Chains A and B, each alone.
Chain A
Amino acid sequence: MRLNSLLSTTARWARAALALAGTVLLTGCDLNFWRMDGHQSTIAVDGPVARSQRDLFYVTCWVTLVIFIIVGSVLAYATIKFRARSSADEHAEPPEQGHGNPMIELGLIGASVLALVIIAIPTLSAIWYTHDVPEADKSNAYDVTATGYQWWFRFDYPNEQIPGSGTLNTSNELVIPAGRPVRIQLRSVDVIHSFWIPKLAGKVDMIPNRGNFLWLKADAPGYYWGQCAEYCGDSHAVMRFRVIALGPKEFNDWLNQQMAPARNVTVAGAAAAKPQFASYRKDFKQNERGWSDRFELNPLDSWRAHQEVDAKGEDAALIQQGRQIFNAKSCVNCHTVRGNDGSGINGPNLTHVGARTTIAGGLLENTPEQVARWLRHPDQVKPGNKMYYGVNKMAGYLKLGDDGFPVRDQNDNYVPNITLTEDDITALVAYISSLK
């Protein structure tokens, strides 16, 4: 029979495949697609909110797995047992034409309901738990406001008011106190975004004209990966951010540093090697498979290293020149460097940008090369991005028409607004890196 030969062929292939898979696993080749310990794992979690969500997931998983095994076994048994083994069998007298059995039906319905109750109870308790900070912990909570922009995040610290210039704010890297509940108000200025730090808590959307809210807590100091989780246009995929949780002392130091105005560099010094930190490597070309996040330091230490001012390596003249260009090239229209120049709010606050590990919405590593790359071709790094195409009728690298959209010339090419020479870029990079 054709069928039988096919089956045995299949079986042969299946055995071969299994053997292959086994060998691959034993030799340690990275075929384990089921690994769930990445930077954005929802399984290897580091906070109570994410933990309660994961535990609930386990409950649903086990309950359905058990049902699957039971129902599956019956199904498999029936399929094998009652299979027609030959074509004669197929055309044998039809079996008894039975029509059903109410008792079995009711029993199974009851069993299903029971299974659902097992899932429903922890679901309800988790809904209430994840909704707001537990009463006992409320007094200890810290407040932050996160606002989504196409395609970056802005973070405000309503508890920290800077005399004369309002609420402390920063972008793309959220620093929170570890071990304390953090209440995050979620806002959006344009389209819908979603705020998601898988290891700390499930996501909540940032919806225009809606005051959403999320709470989370980091068990211990650490460095976490976040991601916008609602499709928000061209660069949704690279709308990322980082969360840094710090102990009480370190958090306070950081706040103090942030409250201070931007550095104004006037002294020169000698260079020192900086630790490399591979959040985004441009040599990370296609086809590089596998787990490859080999930090030279642990990520939190990498972040700490970024906080340190390395006055010796700086060229004050270059930095001053960068600052001038920053003003002249209208960067100030969109960016604020508090204490120095500008009060723009369409782009990230750059007051202490040099102290972040990443730029451009968690996409690029904050190194001079990457900053230069960003300034050279923001559109190529981050498709559609607003620094290039302009935002709220504020022109970026391109000239805008009255309708707020970039204009084109007769040849259908965009008309530039900001043009930077390589020298400009070098100076700007020096300036930006100096802002710690």
Chain B
Amino acid sequence: MSDHAASTVPGAHAEENKFQIYVQIAMLLAVITGVEIAVIGLPFAKWLLVTVLVVLSTVKFMYVIFYFMHLRWDKAFCTILFFIGLTIAGATMYGLIRLFDAPESVPLSSVAAAAADVRPDLA
């Protein structure tokens, strides 16, 4: 009933030994986690550390979804589907957090506003 009539031979995936891949990736992820924990102690500029942490956890994220969750081996549509959600959610999160950065939007009760360096018009 399908348009995509058998392009796949039965057992086509059998030769891939996923067991090895999975174990290796788990090790890798554990190592990255260790690095992340180590990174927070380093005496570098804050922006640099933030970037490093964000990149490292993105890498972990991608490994899990592409390998453990087999997006790598699945039809691309699954990836598209998930990334629609991920992108919209990510962009919304980013927008929302940034909206609160505007001086007008800083809450009165916040430490920063109390110090009156963010909202000069309140001083």
For residue B117, CB closer than 8 A to chain A, the reply is: no
Residues on the A chain within 8 Å of B104, using CB: 211-213
Interface string of B101-123 (1 = CB under 8 A from A): 00011111100010000010110
For residue A185, CB closer than 8 A to chain B, the reply is: yes
Residues on the A chain within 8 Å of B113, using CB: 211
Bound Cα distance from A317 to B105, whole angstroms: 53
Determine if B121 and A210 form an interchain contact, defined as CB atoms under 8 angstroms apart. Answer: no
For residue A209, CB closer than 8 A to chain B, the reply is: yes
Interface string of B42-57 (1 = CB under 8 A from A): 0000000000000000
Bound Cα distance from A212 to B108, whole angstroms: 10
Which chain A residue lies CB-closest to B118? Answer: A211
- A122 nearest CB across to chain B (Å): 22
Determine if B121 and A209 form an interchain contact, defined as CB atoms under 8 angstroms apart. Answer: no
**Number of A interface residues in the complex (CB < 8 A):** 7
Interface residues of B in 76-123 (CB under 8 A from A): 104-109, 113, 119, 121-122
Interface range for B: 10 to 19
Determine if A210 and B122 form an interchain contact, defined as CB atoms under 8 angstroms apart. Answer: no
Determine if A209 and B122 form an interchain contact, defined as CB atoms under 8 angstroms apart. Answer: no
Residues on the B chain within 8 Å of A209, using CB: 107-109
Which chain B residue lies CB-closest to A212? Answer: B104
- B52 nearest CB across to chain A (Å): 34
Which chain A residue lies CB-closest to B107? Answer: A209
- A206 nearest CB across to chain B (Å): 12
Determine if B122 and A211 form an interchain contact, defined as CB atoms under 8 angstroms apart. Answer: yes
Interface string of A243-281 (1 = CB under 8 A from B): 000000000000000000000000000000000000000
Determine if A211 and B119 form an interchain contact, defined as CB atoms under 8 angstroms apart. Answer: yes
Bound Cα distance from A324 to B104, whole angstroms: 46
Interface string of A168-203 (1 = CB under 8 A from B): 000000000000000101000000000000000000
Bound Cα distance from A211 to B118, whole angstroms: 11
Which chain A residue lies CB-closest to B110? Answer: A209
Determine if A213 and B121 form an interchain contact, defined as CB atoms under 8 angstroms apart. Answer: yes
Interface residues of A in 184-236 (CB under 8 A from B): 185, 209-213
Bound Cα distance from A185 to B122, whole angstroms: 8
Bound Cα distance from A213 to B121, whole angstroms: 9
Q: Which A residues form the contact surface with B (CB < 8 A)?
A: 183, 185, 209-213
The 8 closest A-B pairs by CB, nearest first: A209-B107, A211-B108, A209-B108, A209-B109, A211-B122, A211-B119, A210-B107, A213-B121
A-B contacts, 19 of them at CB < 8 A, read A183-B121, A185-B121, A185-B122, A209-B107, A209-B108, A209-B109, A210-B105, A210-B107, A210-B108, A211-B104, A211-B106, A211-B108, A211-B113, A211-B119, A211-B121, A211-B122, A212-B104, A213-B104, A213-B121
- 5 other contacts beyond A210-B107, A212-B104, A213-B121, with CB at 8 A cut-off? A185-B122, A209-B107, A209-B108, A211-B104, A211-B106
